[in-house]
Structure 1
Amino acid sequence: MKPQSKTVTPSSTQQTVLPDEGYNCLSQVVVEKIPYVESENSAGGLTVTIG
């Protein structure tokens, strides 16, 4: 058995995470946080920018 570890970033479409050629299983999959930025806006609230 030859396991592989992978890291993925969420996207707006479905993803299938499979081991690369030469590996036959996944030992670990790390899903990164969704990248976003919060900033104050002129209305006194927060604007969230994703991506």
Structure 2
Amino acid sequence: MTLLLKYFDDSIGFDEWKSLTNPDVFQLQVKEQAITLKRIWCEDKRTN
């Protein structure tokens, strides 16, 4: 997951990898030349 995120955002690194959860969901939006990356998974909404 981190390698894919880093492909689109070069600022992604070790700390972001360390903070990933399982599962984890990101929204990637591409408009013309602009790319927006947003984490949409929230641990508080997790159900058992």
TM-score by length of 2: 0.21
More strand by share: 1
TM-score by length of 1: 0.21
Q: Which fold has the larger relative contact order, with Cα–Cα distance below 8 Å and residues 6 or more apart in sequence?
A: 1
More helix by share: 2
